[in-house]
Every structure is written in C-alpha cells, then in structure tokens.
C-alpha cells in the first residue's frame, strides 16, 4: 500500500433499514508511485460483486481475492500500471449491531421500535463500509451519495448539494466534497433525524431522534461558543461550511469527531432543564469542546501513524478544558483538571506495567481502561506542563505555526516539538522526548544543604522498581523567607541530580509550584513540611493547587512505602480549616481508599481523621444543595456522602 496513494473516493450507498443491509459502489482515483500489477485495499466483512480498472476511458473487469484474516482485498490488474488510475468496486454489507463500522442504532418513538443507521470508523472500521486505504496517513477527498427512503434524512460530512426523486419512494442525496482527510473521519447516517440550527458564517446544527430537539438547545449554544474559541485560539478558521452535533441512542464511545458531523451519546449532548445537574452541564460542555478541538487537532492535522494518537486526544483533552473555562470561569475547571485528569493519570502511571504516551508499534491502537488514562489524561497534563515551561504565548504561537505548516496533511510528535521550539527558543524536543517515549513519571526528592536544595529523581511506582530512567523536568519552586517575602525559581532538571541555590534565610520551599509538572515530590526535611503546613492553614500563602499537591503526593508516598500512614494523617491536621473543593475532594478520596485497603487500628485512625475533617466540611457546605450552590461544592458533597 505504500506505493499507492488515494486522491478521491466516490462512494455510492443504498442502505436498507428493513433488512439491515446495504449495497455500495466505491470508485477510487489513486496514484501509483511506481509500476504495480495489483492493488491491495483494506476490506472487512464485505461481499464483493465486481472490480474494474479504468483503461483507455473504459472500465475493464479485474479478478480479485479476499483475505478475511488480513482484512484485505487484492485486485489483480490486467497489465502493469503506474501514475493515476481509477478503480471501481461494487459490494454488499451488513448494517450491523456492533456499534462499529456502519451500524444500526435502536430507539422508540410513539411507542414503536425504530432504527437509524450511522457510522463509527475510528480507528480501522471504515473498511467495513467501503474498500479503502484505511490508515490515517492515506488522506483523500470524499464524494458521498446515498439512496434512501423519501421520509428519511441523510447526513454526511459535507452539506447536501442535491436531492433527486427516484420515483419509487426513494431519493438520491448527494453531498459536497470533503476536504482532504483520513478515512476514519468519514461519516454517513440515515434516519428520522430532526434538527435545530444556528445560521451564521458556519451553519451549526444539533440533531436528535424525533421529539428530542427541545433538549439540544444547551449543546447548540455552547457548540457555537466552543467553535469560536478554537478559531480564535488557533488563528485558523473552521474549514467546512457546516458542523453537526448528533445525539445517537446506541453509541459505544462518549463522542466521535467525524469532520463536520460530531456524534455523541445522548446523555452527553441532551440537556434536561431542572434535571441535568451542574456537573452534567459541565460534562456536556467538556465533551463538546473536546470534540470541536479535534476539528483542528486530528482532522485538519492528523497523526501520521496511530502511535501518535496522543496528538489527537491529549490536545483535545487540554483544549476541552480551555474552552470551557473561557466561558465559565466560575466553574473552577482547571481545579477539576488536576483532580480528574492529572490525578487519574499519576495513579495509573504509578503501576509498574504502564505504557508510554507515544504507543509503540502504531499499526493498531486499543483505547481501553489501561491506555486511556495515559493518552487522554497524562497527555493533557504533559501539555499543561510544556505550556507552563515555554509560556502560554509561545505555546499558542507554536501551535498556530504547527497547524499552518501541516494543515490537510499528517504530522508526528517531532514536528510538533520542532514548531514549539522554533517559536519559544527553548529545548522542547529534548524535554518532551523523555516524557512521551518512555512509560512512567519521576519522583523528585528534595534535600536542603544549607544554602542550596539538592534535587534527585527516580521513577515513581507504588511497588519497588529497578528502573534507571530519567526525565528532563521543568521544576518551579516557591521559596518563602523569614521576612515573609517569597520568590519563584524555575530550572530545567536535565540530569538525575541537580542543585538550586537558595538564601540562608529561606524557611520553606514548595517544589512543583502550582502543580504545573507531572511528577511527585518527596521532602527529606520534616520541618519543611511543617512550615508548608502553616502556610496551608493561612490559605492565602499557598494556592489551592499546592494545597492539593502536598497532601496528594504524601498519600502516594504512603502507598509506595516511602512514608508512613501516620505522617499523612498528622499532616492532614493543617487542613482543618480548608474550604476549597480541590484539596478536600482529594483528601476525601485518599481517606476512602485507605479505609478500604486497611484494617484494624489503622482503619480506625483513618475513620477518626475522616470523621473529624469531613464532618467539619459538611457543616459548612450543608447536606443539601440550594439553587446558588457552586457545582464544585455539589460534587464535593456527593463525593463525601457516597
């Protein structure tokens, strides 16, 4: 396949929702970079009628063979060919019930069971709907047309350009040609879709099953905002004339970023006034923003191989939060990023059997409970780290440069680092290779030697390891002086050990200030933790992120056996007046975990500390929410009570 490049696909489909079958014809304009005598395409669970190649303005039938194990069809050409040619293939397929490929989704309307047919192609299921070069690097344009029943609606990536009545209660629907894109981003659907829309420069629609559009206004309104945020941040206009947000009854993924037609689980798009919680509203916004960010990161610029999938998911995770906080700063969304993304990633990544962000291999990627926290959560956290290191302005300009340079094409991790390095003039490549190409994350141990801090690093895992790994770590330190003043120091830790000069009148130091880095910290001197504890009590001297990080790192060290449970429980005394969501929800989770895994006297100690701290919290926030309660407070209350 490496010597063949697709240029355009013309796809004709005739789905039958009564028999759950479809027939199709795919015509591929392709280019052979050197003479070939056969063409191999990806194909899965399709029954082929005929294959033909265009020779001297006429289609000539070709023999072919199918290999189900390899998911391939091989077409044997009548003569050796090079340059551009056209291949025509006719076939049949099933509209399956597997929520992958071209599948049927069931719903009820007016008490009757109905079906729509939609697609879910990421990462390698386009081949089950049409024969193709099913790899992200094999980009092409797509012309789609469908024959459907008159009363149904057809959807694809582009807007409808024509409908032709065929006279037998069927119609032919044609769509505008797509931009150059990967096969996994193609979408087609047919069913009783209903829409609400916002007509501006870009047509934005929210689509649902019959009678549900009244619940799509919230999503439509935020989708418009998220699209504007991305256009402004990336300095790159959304390149399609329309964007659909479609709620699908049966949908395996949370959502899918098909270019121009984003699909969602119904509960992640539909909003029920006075029923959907504040946390539910936030989740809807996060998912919409995540998928709209993909329209640039993943769709406009696509990973050149599946090993670079993190370029899609990490950026969408990071900018999903960025778009939401832009319009809802009152939601404290970055606090939830630390709790929901960074903490989850640190926890998963502390297992000895973990995976790097840049997955080895690349031919096939499985996103599951093992890999998702690394690709999405850790990847997004590493982007937050690099943005903090090179500066938000350089980060933004570097991404703009990257998108301009590679739009409608493919890129790898190294090309992203080169763009960031070009703009920031900082060694982004050297730093980031150590974070994405190897599994795990470091523990930075801090010891004071009079007027300097000695920093050493080793891989952090809950169970003992013999790793000799090292990372290039951006370290930010908040120094507190006897005078009451403070200072922030930053350094790039390029070796396994380094030192930072400090003043002799330093009384305390907080490493990983504002928790911008993806690593754990251990302090050798207990008196430093005590001094930091005093600043936790005062609240205004340490921001919530650091109050979260200090106790969260300490509990991770309990789990790894580096410190005692007693040290952690004693340190929690500094949180007796804590009122911020971020450290409190972490403390509640850590105490709950300890209570589950311990027994006897230790469990009783955990229960006693938890009762003392969390009852004080509940007495402040109440046991029942009211209309003016912040949604983070509601989340905290639910977390404690459960």
Question: Which has the closest alpha carbon to 571: 543, 519, 516, 531?
Answer: 531
3-state helix, strand, coil in the chain (%, to 5): 35, 30, 30
* 3-class secondary structure, 270: coil
Q: For the ranges 275-279, 308-312, 490-494, which has the lowest average pLDDT?
A: 275-279
Strand partners, 487: 479
Give me the pLDDT at residue 589, please: 96
What is the pLDDT averaged over residues 608-632?
84
β 141-149/101-109 pair status: unpaired
240-283 per-position pLDDT tens digit:
999 999 999 999 989 999 999 999 999 999 999 999 988 899 99
Tens digits of per-residue pLDDT, 552-611?
999 999 999 999 999 999 999 999 999 999 999 999 999 999 999 999 999 999 999 999
Measure the CA–CA gap between 559 and 463, rounded to whole angstroms: 8
From the list 38, 13, 9, 36, the residue with the least C-alpha distance to 24 is 13
Confidence grade of residue 619 (pLDDT, cut at 50, 70, 90) = confident
Residues 6+ apart with CB under 8 A from 527: none
Q: Would you say residue 465 has pLDDT above 90?
A: yes
- Residues with Cβ within 8 Å of 185's Cβ and at least 6 positions away in sequence, in order, are 121, 122, 157, 257, 258, 259, 298, 299
- Asked if pLDDT for residue 362 goes beyond 60, the answer is no
What are the tens digits of pLDDT across the range 426-443?
999 999 999 999 999 999
Is the pLDDT at 331 greater than 80, yes or no?
yes
- Does 423 score more than 60 pLDDT? yes
Q: Tally DSSP H helices, then E strands, for the chain.
A: 16, 27
Whole-number pLDDT of residue 1: 61
Neighbouring C-beta atoms of residue 23, cutoff 10 Å: 16
pLDDT in tens, 42-55: 999 999 999 999 99
**Other C-beta atoms lying within 10 Å of the C-beta of residue 368:** 8
As a whole number, mean pLDDT of residues 112-127 equals 96
Tokens matching residue 205: 């629609």
Please write the tens of the pLDDT for every residue from 185-242.
999 999 999 999 999 889 999 999 999 999 999 999 999 999 999 999 999 999 999 9
Token pair for residue 537?
A: 């009590």
Tokens of 469: 């790994």
Among the ranges given (41-45, 304-308, 426-430, 617-621), the one the predictor scored with the smallest mean pLDDT? 617-621
Dihedral pair phi/psi, residue 496, rounded to 5°: -70, -20
Kindly indicate the confidence band of residue 367, based on its pLDDT and cuts at 50, 70 and 90. Answer: low
Q: Using the predicted structure, report yes or no on whether residue 366 has a pLDDT greater than 90.
A: no
Q: Is 291 a catalytic residue?
A: yes
Two structure tokens written together for 387: 């943005």
109 has which bridge partners? 112
- Please report the domains of the chain, with CATH numbers, ordered by start residue: 1-190 (2.60.40.1730), 301-436 (1.10.390.10)
Of 122, 286, 291, 578, which one is the catalytic site residue? 291
Tell me the pLDDT band of 2, cut-offs 50, 70 and 90. confident
* pLDDT tens by residue, 388-406: 999 999 999 999 999 999 9
């Amino acid at each position: 396949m490496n010597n063949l490049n697709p240029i355009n696909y013309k796809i004709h489909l005739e789905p039958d929702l009564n028999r759950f079958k479809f027939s199709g014809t795919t015509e591929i304009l392709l280019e052979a970079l050197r003479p070939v005598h056969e063409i191999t395409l990806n194909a899965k669970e399709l029954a082929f009628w005929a294959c033909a190649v265009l020779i001297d303005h006429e289609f000539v039938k070709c023999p072919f063979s199918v290999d189900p194990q390899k998911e391939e069809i091989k077409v044997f050409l009548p003569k050796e060919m090079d340059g551009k040619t056209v291949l025509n293939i006719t076939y049949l397929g099933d509209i399956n019930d597997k929520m992958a490929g071209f599948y049927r989704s069931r719903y009820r309307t007016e008490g009757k069971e109905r079906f729509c047919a939609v697609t879910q192609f990421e990462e390698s299921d386009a081949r089950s709907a049409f024969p193709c070069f099913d790899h992200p690097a094999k980009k092409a344009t797509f012309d789609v047309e469908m024959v459907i029943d008159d009363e149904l609606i057809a959807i694809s990536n582009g807007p409808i350009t024509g409908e032709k009545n065929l006279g037998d209660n069927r119609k032919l629907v044609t769509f505008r040609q797509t931009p150059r894109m990967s096969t996994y981003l193609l979408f087609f659907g047919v069913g009783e879709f209903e829409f609400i829309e916002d007509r501006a420069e870009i047509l934005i629609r929210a689509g649902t099953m019959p009678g549900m559009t009244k619940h799509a206004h919230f999503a439509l309104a935020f989708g418009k905002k998220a699209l504007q945020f991305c256009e402004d941040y990336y300095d790159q206009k959304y390149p399609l004339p329309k964007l659909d947000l479609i709620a699908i009854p049966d949908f395996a993924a949370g959502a899918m970023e098909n270019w121009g037609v984003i699909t969602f689980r119904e509960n992640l798009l539909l909003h029920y006034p006075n029923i959907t919680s504040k946390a539910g509203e936030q989740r809807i916004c996060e998912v919409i923003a995540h998928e709209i960010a993909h329209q640039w990161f993943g769709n406009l610029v696509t990973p050149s191989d599946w090993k670079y999938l993190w370029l899609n998911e990490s950026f969408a995770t990071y900018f999903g939060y960025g778009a939401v906080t832009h319009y809802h700063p009152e939601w404290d969304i970055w606090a939830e990023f630390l709790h929901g993304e960074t903490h989850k990633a640190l926890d998963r990544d502390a297992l000895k059997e973990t995976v790097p962000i840049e997955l080895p291999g690349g031919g096939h990627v499985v996103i599951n409970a093992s890999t998702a926290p690394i690709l999405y959560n850790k990847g997004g956290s590493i982007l937050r780290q690099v943005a903090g290191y090179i500066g938000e302005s350089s980060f933004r300009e570097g991404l703009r440069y990257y998108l301009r340079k590679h739009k409608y094409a493919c890129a790898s991790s190294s090309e992203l680092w080169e763009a960031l390095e070009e703009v920031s003039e900082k060694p982004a490549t050297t730093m980031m290779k150590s974070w994405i190409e190897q599994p795990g994350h470091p523990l930075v141990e801090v010891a004071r030697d009079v007027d300097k801090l000695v920093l050493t690093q080793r891989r952090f895992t809950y169970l003992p390891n013999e790793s000799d790994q090292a990372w290039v770590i951006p370290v930010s330190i908040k120094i507190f002086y006897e005078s009451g003043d403070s200072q922030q120091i930053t350094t790039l830790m390029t070796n396994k050990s380094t030192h930072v000069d400090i003043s002799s009148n330093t009384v305390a130091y907080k490493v990983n200030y504002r928790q911008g880095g993806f690593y754990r910290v251990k302090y050798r001197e207990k008196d430093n933790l005590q001094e930091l504890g005093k600043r936790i009590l005062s609240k205004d001297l340490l921001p919530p992120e650091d109050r979260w990080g200090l106790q969260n790192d300490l509990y991770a060290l309990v789990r790894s056996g580096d410190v005692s449970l007693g040290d952690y429980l004693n340190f929690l005394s500094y949180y007796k007046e804590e009122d911020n969501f971020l450290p409190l929800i972490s403390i509640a989770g850590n105490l709950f975990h300890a209570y589950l895994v311990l027994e006897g006297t230790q469990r009783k100690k955990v229960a006693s500390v938890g009762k003392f701290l969390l009852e004080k919290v509940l007495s402040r926030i109440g046991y029942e929410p009211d209309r003016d309660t912040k949604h983070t407070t509601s989340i905290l209350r639910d977390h404690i009570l459960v």
